[in-house]
Amino acid sequence: MPTLPPARILGIESSCDETACAVIENGRALIASAVASQMDIHARYGGVFPEVASRQHVLSVVPVIEQALAKSNLTLKDMDAIAVTRGPGLAGSLVVGMNAAKGLSLGLGLPLIGVNHLEGHIYSAWIHNAGDAVPPEPQFPLMALLVSGGHTELNLMTDHLTYKRLGSTLDDAAGEAFDKVGRLLSLPFPGGPAIQKAAENGDPTRFKFTRPKLDSPYAFSFSGLKTAVLYEVNDFKKKNEPIPVEDFAASFQATAVDILFNKTMQAARDFNAKEILVAGGVSANKALRNAFQPQNEFKVHIPAFSLCTDNAAMIAAAGYYRYALGHVSEMDIDVQPTWGLS
């Protein structure tokens, strides 16, 4: 690959319930990041309330941009381009970040780079804190597992910005299943961290949940697993017996992690991948991270915990590669993603 030009990118993310801004240098060095989370606000609803989310983005977007710039000791005039999440996500939330980015682009005369949210998650694995030792870059061909509240899919990445989707979820995403099982077990929202915490004291072998049989070895399905938990919980309720929440959480988590791990490893072998990348909100799950670490067949890249959930650093990083490789046009902000992902 030719040497890429230096550039400083301001990224903005507002696809769901986090308003975020970050500054990335040369696609990897994180200069500054600021995130305004709405988790406490939406916890009362047991999930993200779209209208409430969009209103909070309106209140937070300018302060978050100002905060990121203040942390970076830079100004808007020091930026080379503006990157922003263009989708997928909640329409009302996306439009806030996009309009802020469009305004900055127009006012500063800088290129505007529309970034697919999933592409952003992939590029979170390239990021390191500015000033730290530079870790090795992920090597192509790369098997990327994207696992979050809205998406679960396997993608073969053969070069920067070049993807082939091998399979995705046929129903619930893994993160969505964690949230739904969390509600079944009367755990707080979001379900992922709550199930992980409960599972620490549970028996992962107590309940044997079956794996779905699918036509494609690279497709996922978590609806049946969620339903299996529901039936088991209902059996305890019918017998008026106390529900072993910790054992349910541990058994569900172990099954979900096993599915994600085994399918990713199989796909990496089948397509002769050099390395594996795991990204998205569920990549923060400790059991999933631990599943990949002991094996020595593939080097595995998993972002830092702070970069697993939605953030603007990943949008700025992906934006840099689009900017540096010339994959930017005036229409990029409005068109559908061209890379074949959900």
Q: Is residue 338 part of a domain?
A: no
Query: Which amino acid appears at position 158 of this protein?
Result: T
Q: Identify which of 169, 115, 185, 160 has the alpha carbon closest to the alpha carbon of residue 282.
A: 169
Question: Residue 245 and residue 207: Cα distance in Å, rounded?
Answer: 11
- Residue 153 and residue 43 share a domain: no
Backbone φ, ψ for residue 335 (5° rounding): -80, 165
User: How does the average pLDDT of the chain come out, rounded?
Assistant: 92
Residue 127: its pLDDT value, please?
98
Instruction: Please say if the pLDDT value at position 161 is more than 50.
Output: yes
Same domain, 90 and 153: no
The structure tokens listed for 298 are 């593939």
| 83 phi, psi to nearest 5 deg | -110, 145
List the CATH number of the domain containing 90: 3.30.420.40
Instruction: Give residue 37's pLDDT.
Output: 85
Do 65 and 178 reside in the same domain of the chain?
Answer: no
Is the sign of the CA dihedral 190, 68, 330, 317 positive or negative?
A: negative
Tokens of 211: 């794996």
Do residue 184 and residue 293 come from a single domain?
yes
Same domain, 166 and 283: yes
Range of the domain at 265: 142-301
Both 153 and 276 in one domain: the answer is yes
Looking at the fold, whether 183 and 65 belong to one and the same domain comes out as no
> Is the pLDDT assigned to residue 337 strictly greater than 50?
no
The pLDDT value given to residue 295: 87
The average pLDDT across 325-335 equals 57
Give pLDDT, residue 49: 83
Do 159 and 237 belong to one domain?
yes
Distance, CA of 61 to chain centre? 20
pLDDT digits (tens, 9 = 90+) for 79-128: 999 999 999 999 999 999 999 999 999 999 999 999 999 999 999 999 99
Q: Same domain for 288 and 312?
A: no
| Residue 146 φ then ψ, to 5° | -100, 120
Whether the pLDDT of residue 38 is over 80: the answer is: no
Alpha carbon separation from 32 to 112, 300, 311, 313 (Å, rounded): 20, 25, 11, 8
Q: What is the pLDDT of residue 328?
A: 72
Domain count, the chain: 2
Q: How does pLDDT run across 258-313, given as a tens digit for each residue?
A: 999 999 999 999 999 999 999 999 999 999 999 998 889 999 999 999 999 999 99
* CA torsion angle 107 112 114 120 (round to 10): -100
Cis omega (within 30 of 0) on the bond before 204? Answer: no
CB–CB of 199/287 below 8 Å?
Answer: yes
Check whether 341 has a pLDDT greater than 60: no
| Residue 221: how many other CB atoms lie within 10 Å | 18
Predicted confidence (pLDDT) at residue 330 exceeds the cutoff of 60: no
pLDDT tens digits, 202-253: 999 999 998 888 989 999 999 999 999 999 999 999 999 999 999 999 999 9
Domain shared by 150 and 242, yes or no: yes
> Are residue 112 and residue 198 in the same domain, yes or no?
no
